[in-house]
Structure 1
Amino acid sequence: MRKWLVSFALLVCSSVLWGEEVAVTDESLPRLPNPTPFQQEVLVSKCRGLILVGKQSELLSARELRNVEGLRVIDLDVPGGEERLDKKLRPLYLNQAITRPSLEEIQDTIRDYYRGYHRPFIIVEVPEQDVTDGVLQIVVFESQLGKVEIQGNTWTSTKRMENYLHLDPGQMINQQSLLSDLDFINRNPFRRADIIYAPGEKEGTTDVILHVDDRRPYRFYAGAENTGVPTTDRQRWFAGFNWGNVFGLDHIFAYQYTASYDVDKFQSHTGQYIAPLPWHHVFDVYGGASWVHLDLDEPSMDSHGFSSQLSGRYVIPFFLGLYLRQECVIGFDWKRTNNTIEFTDDFPTFGKNVNLTQFVFTYAGSYERNAYRLDFEGSFYWSPGRWVSDQTDADFESLRPGAKNHWVYFLASFSYLQRLPKSFSLFLLAEGQLSSQNLLPSEQFGLGGYDTVRGYNQREVSTENGLLLSGEVRSPALPLFSNIKRMKQVDAIQFLAFLDYGYGRYKKTLPFETKNQYLLGIGPGIRYTLEPYFTARLDWGIKLHKEARYGGGNTMVHFAVTGSY
């Protein structure tokens, strides 16, 4: 999703998120009195009934067993209903001969059934009993929550962490609900939390321990990069801060100032505020303003431009299991500008003041296993037309001929990370956009630069419709200084090789535009981090497709360095 503003990589809501680790050991299971030993061989020639009880004291007497047919449940909460469980068990017991292997299969089926409803804390035991009547009794004991304990937190409120967990002592533990709470807690980049299960003080209970590894909830940083367009100079410097616990509310605020080395050419202020809500939704608002100034050959032309933006996003996360995370986002953008300088270098334009408004609907998610990770996102942008001032078709055409005040476009991305032997990895990325109208440059699909096709200027090509394909082979992350005995910080250096391809197609071409354009770049890159004080990236892009209009020579270096505290 492209913005007019500098994005905050540290604060991206969508997701994306640390994977949780849940430690479950045999000791975490509820403690029960040792069951009385039962026969090594349990054999029922023809089983006509199965009884599941929640307590050993609820076992039926021989006289009470005479009228039992099929499945009977006593003092036991069965998720999904007894009929659904019986459909799983009936082929295993009804009118069947029960042997030791088949008995173990019945027990495993009950355990798997409860796990399927995210309630894994059960003990399934077969007590010593008389089975001459053809009825088998099984004790299914489900652990209840003992107590919740918060450990390790230094900067995070214990009370707030407890409020994030939807747990009440004495209730059954729903693992999916608990992991969903954990996932929400870990949206804050200033902490990492994990769940540990431990045996409770009382018999039949399990304690939940939330271990929090947090750090001071503020960060100051400054750095330099070459992500600008040549018109305002590629080289830029920036400085800002992040506050990860605003007024003790667990909200996040970020601010950044960015400028070209000659601040008169370009400078911007951007801010973002993220508020996690009690019902586990997120409200995200961001905005800012920027100014540009060019020395034009025509003194009569206005050479000063501005842009401003205010956007809001309402994020609804969906936790669908240990591996799959999804979220829906509803948002709105307001943007105001009188130039296209920040987004294109071919034909920089100063025009009328234009108000751009649009609704945004996004679906995003990720799926991660040990060997790979998938991330996907699709966003639908819709502007219904004029409803505020400075929003006529003529206003839009002053900045982009053929642009209208109403449009629909769809932007999608898909990335895949494959972990390879020896800690190597393969990263693949595909992005694309389709539009119904000519768009202002801020909404066009930009190609060129460190984040799309390396070896070319930032946004060398900007079109309404486009496709980006990128692949990287990455080396293991290797320590550079961490092996030094007195070195307390952890550092890592990583090497990569990349191949980037971008294709752009204008919706309606202008006389000076080429309908279809493509970029192709290849080269090596390097990444370095010294936690939490320094990060750097460097990519050397080599153009494989050259045209006279593409600036920067045959190769181009893309870099960024950031120091933080």
Structure 2
Amino acid sequence: MPPDPGLLPQGLPDGSAFPIAPVAPIPSGPARRSQVITLSPTGVQIPLKGVTLIPDKRVKIGDRPPLDVTPVDGVKLLGGIQDPPAKAELLSEIENRFLNKPLTFGGLEDLVKLVENHYIRHGRQLTHAFVPSQVITDKIAIAILEGKVTKLDAKSVVPEDRTWWASWYDEPYSLDKILEKVRTKTANLNSVEPVELNKVLLDLNQSPWARLERPVQHPFRRVTAKYSPVEDYIGQTEVTLLVEQKRPLRFFTGYDNALTDLLGEDRVYAGFVWYDAFALNLDHQLAVQYFTSPDGDFIEGIAGSYIVPWTEKQTTEIYAAYSESVAGITIGGIPSDVTGESTVVGFRHYYELPPIVAGGEIIRGEGYAREGDGRLAWWTLGKRDRQSFGIFHEVGAGLDFKTTDNNLQFGGATVTADSADILQLVVEYNARQTDGSGETTFSWKNHFGIGGSSDDELAALRNGAESSYWYTKVELDREHDLPWGMLAHGRLTGQYSTDNLLQSEQLGFGGYSSVRGFPERSFRGDNGWLLSLELYSPAIHPLGHLLPSLGWADELRFLIFTDWGSGSASEEFAADPLDDDQTIGSVGVGLRYDVNDNLRLRIDYGIQVQQLDEPPFPQGTSDNQTHIGLAWTF
């Protein structure tokens, strides 16, 4: 059959592979797909007994090499053809769908498409399947042409989708660096061997800072491939990589009410992410954030991180933060403002382990469905983008040094004369598994106290705290696609400690990230668990539907949730009422709204259904809580 015109850039000239020497005229029009191929001079319809896959031996346009392989019974690979990807899957599908059934011309087309699409779906982007010239009996040969890249080049193109905040155009990443990455990822590229260009492009367009093979789009680079056939030669292709790049510096600002009552609840922040830090062309990432209360009276601080992806499997992250907190408390019956300072410095090194289950394919969701007039549909009922690559996992280790003279950010009201220091070793294991229905993540972290201040200095902030301790924390998260575009999300967290911990290491209960409907850090526990269950509506696109001329892609989802948590101290002290065992719970509603991945709004309203005991928990007796977060990236 003639090749698909969409495959012509891969070096397959139109008409050159028209293959069949049939024993009967080929019907045209709708009758073609149902016409049974007569496999004998007497007109008896003989079921198909064999499909043989052979290599294409043409070199130049016009070549008609004789069929030197006799098709055999069953589904076989002959003539020196290389094994296809997922060989058993392909052979089984051919056998189940076509063997022992009469072969129609439409069925022949379906057979060829099945073989070709199997190769392409598994990353062999330059593969073409066709029926070579032959007299068809009850067995048939299918030829496989795996394209060869004979030249690789790259050039820059200006992004077509630039907006006013993205028009600050530059070429931060050299084209030579792109070509070097391609050659490193595919040893066969620029040679005469088959290539898996689809996977190479996928890797180039994925963020180098997204660990565990998370499908995160590269923040400032997009690479596509242009295929050009080599004149007069079959299957030889020149590839030009079209590289769209934006300046790798993004700014952000936002607001949330995630502070404790004593610190005024409200917080504003601003910062930047430099994705090609110091223009080193090494994929280093520098992020800096400044945060404060809106009036600047309660808290002020700065935090930063520096990420170095040494290889695709190894990443190091260095981070630091400093904050100053001011709270109004009563000392001896006299209202007073107290000020505390806290500093954190640490690093993690992650090493990705070999995947437990390899193989799979990309599963693309419907994305933003546009109607005939260019506007977004009101509802998107498709699934989110998923990648079923199997189970990816990593181990990590690092050190944290923390020094503080207060516990104001963690729900406490204590400021000491001297700072309390801890030095801890952290060892962790993280895993991510995706399938056609959702994504599961798992994290297990172990913290070992290996030094710091004296036990007396630590006890000034927390009764029973020591510099030598151990605690372990486990988190399990699942996001699951439901019918009609709905989503279910569940998160379970558990922590166990053998010792009393400083407040920075305790599990916090109350607030947006734990039990909504309660003030931030209403109470804490050395040991405890948190459970959150959420149900999301299908995505709605109000701006994209009502104002299509803006070209904005927005997504609005509503949700209902229930949060629960229970915590306790490793060792209780009568002088510390926060050591009492407590369980709290809430239900509520909320929404999530994204516009162009630049503006993000979250609102949750939680209703307390299991309240804290009172006294001595005044923070837990306040009304139901609304939790708000707004972020803008530009």
Q: 262-271 vs 316-325, which deviates more?
A: 316-325
1:312 aligns with 2:374: no
- Structure 1 residue 458: Cα displacement: 1.2
Q: TM-score, normalised by structure 2?
A: 0.68
Q: 122-131 vs 98-107, which deviates more?
A: 98-107
How has the CA–CA distance of structure 1 residues 53 and 262 changed in structure 2, closer, same or farther, with 3 Å as cutoff?
closer
1:260 is matched with 293
Q: SS in structure 1 opposite 2:20?
A: coil
1:179 aligns with 2:242: no
1:377 is matched with 442
Q: What is the rounded CA distance, in whole Å, between the counterparts of 2:624 and 2:429 in structure 1?
A: 36
Q: Which of 31, 39, 48 is the aligned partner of 2:12?
A: 31
1:479 is matched with 542
1:122 aligns with 2:127: yes
2:178 is matched with 161
Does structure 2 conserve the Cα–Cα contact (< 8 Å) formed by 1:54 and 1:75? Answer: no
1:4 is matched with none
- Structure 1 residue 531: Cα displacement: 4.6
Q: What is the rounded CA distance, in whole Å, between the counterparts of 2:170 and 2:52 in structure 1?
A: 53
How has the CA–CA distance of structure 1 residues 90 and 60 changed in structure 2, closer, same or farther, with 3 Å as cutoff?
farther
**Percent identity of paired positions between Structure 1 and Structure 2:** 17
1:191 is matched with 220
Does structure 1 conserve the Cα–Cα contact (< 8 Å) formed by 2:277 and 2:284? Answer: yes
Q: 111-120 vs 33-42, which deviates more?
A: 111-120
Q: What is the rounded CA distance, in whole Å, between the counterparts of 1:136 and 1:497 in structure 2?
A: 56
Q: Tell me how many residue pairs correspond in the alignment.
A: 528
Q: Which amino acid aligns with 1:545?
A: Q
Q: Which of 506, 514, 519 is the aligned partner of 1:444?
A: 506
Q: SS in structure 2 opposite 1:169?
A: coil
- Structure 1 residue 289: Cα displacement: 1.5
- Structure 1 residue 31: Cα displacement: 0.8
1:333 aligns with 2:399: yes
Q: SS in structure 1 opposite 2:407?
A: coil
Extract unaligned runs of 5+ from structure 1.
1-23
Q: Which of 404, 413, 424 is the aligned partner of 2:476?
A: 413
1:204 is matched with 235
- Structure 1 residue 393: Cα displacement: 5.3
1:355 aligns with 2:407: no
Q: What is the rounded CA distance, in whole Å, between the counterparts of 2:258 and 2:6 in structure 1?
A: 50
Q: TM-score, normalised by structure 1?
A: 0.76
2:316 is matched with 283
Q: Which of 624, 628, 631 is the aligned partner of 1:555?
A: 624
Q: 338-347 vs 552-561, which deviates more?
A: 338-347
For the aligned residues, what is the CA RMSD?
4.6
Q: Which of 518, 522, 525 is the aligned partner of 2:590?
A: 525
Does structure 1 conserve the Cα–Cα contact (< 8 Å) formed by 2:54 and 2:144? Answer: yes
- Structure 1 residue 50: Cα displacement: 5.7
Q: Which amino acid aligns with 2:291?
A: T
Q: What is the rounded CA distance, in whole Å, between the counterparts of 2:67 and 2:536 in structure 1?
A: 68
Q: What is the rounded CA distance, in whole Å, between the counterparts of 2:19 and 2:557 in structure 1?
A: 61
Q: Which of 520, 528, 531 is the aligned partner of 1:465?
A: 528
- Structure 1 residue 396: Cα displacement: 4.8
- Structure 1 residue 143: Cα displacement: 1.6
* Structure 1 residues 453-483: Cα deviation after superposition (integer angstroms, max 9, x where no partner): 2211112232222122131434633335984
Q: SS in structure 1 opposite 2:512?
A: coil
Does structure 2 conserve the Cα–Cα contact (< 8 Å) formed by 1:290 and 1:308? Answer: no
- Structure 1 residue 112: Cα displacement: 7.6
Extract unaligned runs of 5+ from structure 2.
23-36, 41-45, 160-168, 209-214, 363-386
